[in-house]
Amino acid sequence: MADPDNECIAGLLNMCIIRIRTMIEQDSSTTMNSGQTSSTMACLAESFFLWRRYCQLRIKPLGLSLKQAFILQQLMQSDLNPSQIAALLFSDRATVSVMLQTMTQRGWIQRDKDTTNRKFVWISITQLGRQKLEELRAFESQLPKREEPFKGFSRQETADLHRLAQQLRTRMEMLVRPEPKGEHL
């Protein structure tokens, strides 16, 4: 039996590819109107939320959220401070603080004050946190392979979508960078 979430994701992604290809094929002097931009961005956002929901439902039995898993994976690379974690998650410090408190209570992370600046805190992964990541990896390897959202896409369509997504990310990063002082658009 087909999974409705995967069918929905595939359908949304197909619609996005068609819209983006149509825009590219249009005369380069023609720009998108705000309705086209909003519609395309809404399509991409909905696809992202559906994918995130799909992934979260898969790991729900472990009592771990996607963000918590991401934080643990990042902490395997190096200790981080709460501001760095907030930036990685595109979240505010208050939201991250609550999440870190929960993770501390579960024994997955620990907070250590900086030795040179007592106001500064470093977050590190504990042995229990490492075990939780191992549990996640083992759990994922035992899950039946599900239909990927790009099934049904040709290699060229997948490559086109990847290239366009990278271009969009680059453009979005430019839009959210702080404006240098003294310069206005």
The pLDDT of residue 34: 60
CATH number at residue 110: 1.10.10.10
Report yes or no on 78 lying in a domain. yes
Report yes or no on 1 lying in a domain. no
Report yes or no on 106 lying in a domain. yes
Report yes or no on 98 lying in a domain. yes
User: What type of residue sits at position 115?
Assistant: T
Q: What average pLDDT does this structure show over 124-130? A: 97
Q: Is 177 helix (H, G, I), strand (E, B) or coil?
A: coil
18-32, 124-138, 162-176, range with greatest mean pLDDT: 124-138
Q: How confident is the model at residue 143 (pLDDT cuts 50, 70, 90)?
A: confident
Domain that holds residue 96: 65-142
For the chain, give the percent of residues with pLDDT over 70.
74
Contact criterion met (CB below 8 Å) for 144 and 151: no
Would you say residue 28 has pLDDT above 60? Answer: no
For the chain, give the percent of residues with pLDDT over 90.
36
Q: Is the entire prediction scored with pTM above 0.75?
A: no
In the chain, DSSP assigns E strands to: 109-113, 121-125
The pLDDT of residue 1: 37
Q: How confident is the model at residue 2 (pLDDT cuts 50, 70, 90)?
A: very low
Report yes or no on 108 lying in a domain. yes
Would you say residue 24 has pLDDT above 70? Answer: no
Instruction: In whole angstroms, give the CA distance from residue 106 to residue 116.
Output: 28
CA of residue 18 relative to chain centroid, distance? 23
Would you say residue 36 has pLDDT above 50? Answer: yes
Higher confidence at residue 172 or residue 93?
93
Higher confidence at residue 53 or residue 16?
53
Q: How many CB atoms lie within 10 A of CB 72?
A: 20
Report yes or no on 39 lying in a domain. no
Domain total for the chain? 1
